[in-house]
Amino acid sequence: MPGSSQNEFQTAAHEYAHLVLHSLGLKLPPWLSEGMAEMYSSVHISSASSLIGTGLPTRTRTLREEALIPLPQLLASAGNTPGGMSRKEAEMFYAESWALTHMLFFSTGYTEHLKQLWSAMAAGTLDADALARIYGKPISAITADLQAWVEEPKPGVPLEGVSAVAANIQISTLPDLDSRVLIAGLLLACGDLDRAEQAYAELAKERPNDPGIPAALGTIALRKKNPFAAREQWKRAMQLGVTDASLCYRYAILAEDAGLPNREITAALRRAIELRPDFDDARYRLQLLERSSGHYDAAIVQLRAMRSIPTGRAYAYWMALASALAETDRRTEARQAAYKAASFAKSTEERISALQLAYIADTDLTVQLSRDSSGNLQIVTARKPHGSEDWNPFIQPGDDIRSLTGTIRKVECSAGKITGFRIGSASAMVEVALPDPTQVMIAGGSAAFVCDAEDGRRVAIQYAASEKLTPADGILRGMQFQ
């Protein structure tokens, strides 16, 4: 802040210290928070050298003219904040908080115990008794040391110099309405939800088309555990063109939890992605909705647009992609994605599921005949190799299928019905039974036969071999005329 007066610079350094401490997630008691901010406000920066921890004349004068606040009272956090004090009380609070913090940080006999002080603060026990235990002396002795420290000169600790950076500073007046928006945002950031809600409600009357206001009101409602109100406010924010991608995503989650129509949820997710193309969480949730709606191509687009796949999500990601690819008949890619999913499986069950998906990508659903436990024929679903033209639905699970290519040497009959065939080749003769002519796949020629005749046509047959069948070598399952 080149060109600023010392008072302006000191105030800025004080508030900047608060910003840094707050960003670290520290929950300091009021006296230590203000004491540290005041201590850091004493910083002097130049290109040659810098100083931190020098004296503050105004604070020192206050301490010399007024009686100190009793340390047990100063250290008590409850109800002891500058916001609830008179101007005179607040001045003394700031001054004494600075002097005590300065002594604890810089005075010999105290600075050696900073680690214990910090541990006590983190445990939430930084009261008068804790201070006495840390420094091994009664609180009255610490008070006496503090009174003496007020009179001590404070030269500060030297630091390296910092070269000035040329900056074009522009100062402008903030309009009243913008100032109120800023204050409302600060109230929300500080967690003062009731005052923030009131401030934004008043602003909503004056700025009905500002998407940031219902966005903030929705955040307040969610923090107050009112998801219905949050959803309604965020819905309005989206209608007004909000540009916060995270808000759009959170609205989509609330809308999904509330059972709103998919079109509203997908619209919110698409808006989030439009605002932030690398929003992988939004893309992943959107592809789930697209797949559940049967929009597999759209799901593939979202999955492939994701920038990074965390290891914890890799299995689910590749399974989702394999499933969508299989549904769009991109079988090779689906199989590859399924094998990729298998490589990320964390259990035997997951690996089996991935390999089953790869198998599905390579096969087509069909039906075939099977026998139940009573030996009755029934139709069951099965899978055949994709593109296979020689799939025989009459082959039953458990069949020991044999093949032979030869000529029909004899058509076996009984009571005028065909009961089987003798098929001979140059090296073998096979007799196959035909218990049910409707359970044989015949292709490539006419199924007309003459009983007890030597048909002579050349065929390739499939039969289920069985050692128990006499005199037949098996049961005919298929016959392809050559």
pLDDT at 469 over 60: no
Q: Which of 71-85, 138-152, 204-218, 397-411 has the lowest mean pLDDT?
A: 71-85
Q: Using CA atoms, how far apart are residues 168 and 323, in angstroms rounded to an integer? A: 57
CB contact at 8 A, 353 and 322: no
Query: What pLDDT is stored for residue 80 in this prediction?
Result: 62
* CATH classification for the domain delimited by 396-481, as one of 3.40.50.620, 1.10.760.10, 3.40.190.10, 2.40.50.140: 2.40.50.140
Q: Which of 5-19, 218-232, 355-369 has the lowest mean pLDDT?
A: 355-369
Q: Which of 5-19, 366-380, 442-456 has the lowest mean pLDDT?
A: 366-380
Phi and psi of 471, rounded to 5°? -90, 0
Give 213 or 375, the one with higher predicted confidence.
Answer: 213
Q: Using CA atoms, how far apart are residues 270 and 283, in angstroms rounded to an integer? A: 8
pLDDT at 386 over 80: no
Which two three-digit tokens encode residue 146? 């503090």
Sign of the Cα pseudo-torsion (108, 111, 117, 119, in order): negative
Query: What pLDDT is stored for residue 27 in this prediction?
Result: 83
Query: What pLDDT is stored for residue 373 in this prediction?
Result: 63
| Range ranked top by mean pLDDT from 269-283, 429-443, 444-458 | 269-283
pLDDT tens-digit series, residues 338-352: 999 999 999 999 999
Query: What pLDDT is stored for residue 395 in this prediction?
Result: 79
Q: Using CA atoms, how far apart are residues 443 and 352, in angstroms rounded to an integer? A: 37
Q: Tabulate helix, strand, coil % of the chain (nearest 5).
A: 50, 15, 35
pLDDT at 370 over 70: no
Q: Using CA atoms, how far apart are residues 313 and 125, in angstroms rounded to an integer? A: 42
Domains in the chain: boundaries: 6-160, 396-481
Q: Using CA atoms, how far apart are residues 28 and 42, in angstroms rounded to an integer? A: 20
pLDDT tens-digit series, residues 398-410: 778 899 999 999 9
Query: What pLDDT is stored for residue 377 in this prediction?
Result: 58
pTM for the whole structure: 0.53
Topology annotation, domain 6-160? Neutral Protease; domain 2 (1.10.390)
The pLDDT of 72-97, averaged and rounded, is 82
Give 480 or 375, the one with higher predicted confidence.
Answer: 480
